[in-house]
Amino acid sequence: AKDAGRNTFLDFVPEMNDMALKRLTLSNELRQALPRRELLLHYQPQVALDDGRLIGVEALLRWQHPEWGMISPAEFIPVAEESGLIEAIGAWVIEEACQQAVAWDQLGLPELSMSINCSTRQFLEPQALLDTVRTALRRSGLPPARLELEITETLIVQDIAKTQWLLEQFRALGVRIAIDDFGTGYSSLYYLKRLPIDKLKIDQSFVRDLVANPDDRTIAATVATLGHSLGLRVIAEGVETAEQLQILETMQCDEGQGYLWSRPLPAGQFIAWYRGTYGA
């Protein structure tokens, strides 16, 4: 399994039938991942649909395990949350992503916004998360308005009062907030009106069958209209084809992200992609 492109932990050590033991092994390895420098970020472009310019990137976490290969965040983030490792890993992500954004400024890229995924667990310690973000901004010198935190509806509803407090702190700081996977959780007009939110991200499950499925088209169009009428920007994720893009354009969707432009790339390849695409 060592040379396979992307393994899942369950493919590995198939002799381990005990699920609990697998998770324990995974969390033990994950504990070492930061000090061993096995974690890295890939970056995926976010593009304006009106003129195609590059607006920002989303940082997506990767774990390059020496034996198991590349492990998907969908697999190890839940383990990191359960084992209390998510705070340290999340702090590393924020620090690393802010440093990267400033490094690209110095290489002459346009001033990109940096989107970072936040886990539910990180929001349970609001003061710690706020301190982490403040420290990363100060150390890197990244202007707060270029940092965007992606949060989910599930995270919002776990404790709406706490979420509101934290989002107001971020708003005061100048950091922006996007609702990730919008429409797949407990979408509520109440929180959309009440919380300081800047952007809605149309979930890729609605983008996937945009061409063939009229219901998905209706949902995507409704999200776009709702977002705009509340003064929010709207981005579609998981855009893979020109046909999907065309439909999203008719909905006045502001931005797109997906394989149509690029897969998430390591920092060095991202620069090469930028120069190749924009001739700069």
Chain centroid to Cα 120, Å, comes to: 13
- Minimum gap (Å) between residue 17 Cβ and ligand C2E: 26
- Minimum gap (Å) between residue 152 Cβ and ligand C2E: 8
Tokens of 190: 């109440």
Pick one of 29, 96, 148, 150: the residue that binds Ca ion (CB under 5 A): 150
255 binds Ca ion (CB under 5 A): no
β pairing state of 176-182 and 255-256: unpaired
- Minimum gap (Å) between residue 35 Cβ and ligand C2E: 18
The CA-based angle 83-84-88, given to 5 degrees, is: 130
Query: Please, which of residues 109-128 interact with Ca ion by CB under 5 A?
Result: 117
- Using H for helix, E for strand and C for coil, what is the string for 145-158? HHEEEEECHHHHHH
Question: If contact means CB under 5 to 8 A according to the sort of partner, which of ligand C2E, Ca ion, none does residue 238 touch?
Answer: ligand C2E
Distance CA 186, CA 183 (A): 7
**CB neighbour class for 271 (10 Å; exposed up to 12, middle 13-18, buried from 19):** middle
Residues of this chain that interact with ligand C2E (CB under 6 A) are: 44, 60-61, 72-74, 77, 93, 117-119, 180-181, 204, 237-240, 258-259, 264
The residues with which 47 forms a beta bridge, in sequence order, are 54, 256
Of 59 and 136, the one with the shorter C-beta distance to Ca ion is: 59
Amino acid symbol at 255: E
- Minimum gap (Å) between residue 249 Cβ and ligand C2E: 16
Of 24 and 260, the one with the shorter C-beta distance to ligand C2E is: 260
Nearest residue to ligand C2E, by Cβ distance, number only: 258
Contacts with Ca ion by CB under 5 A lie at 117, 150, 180-181
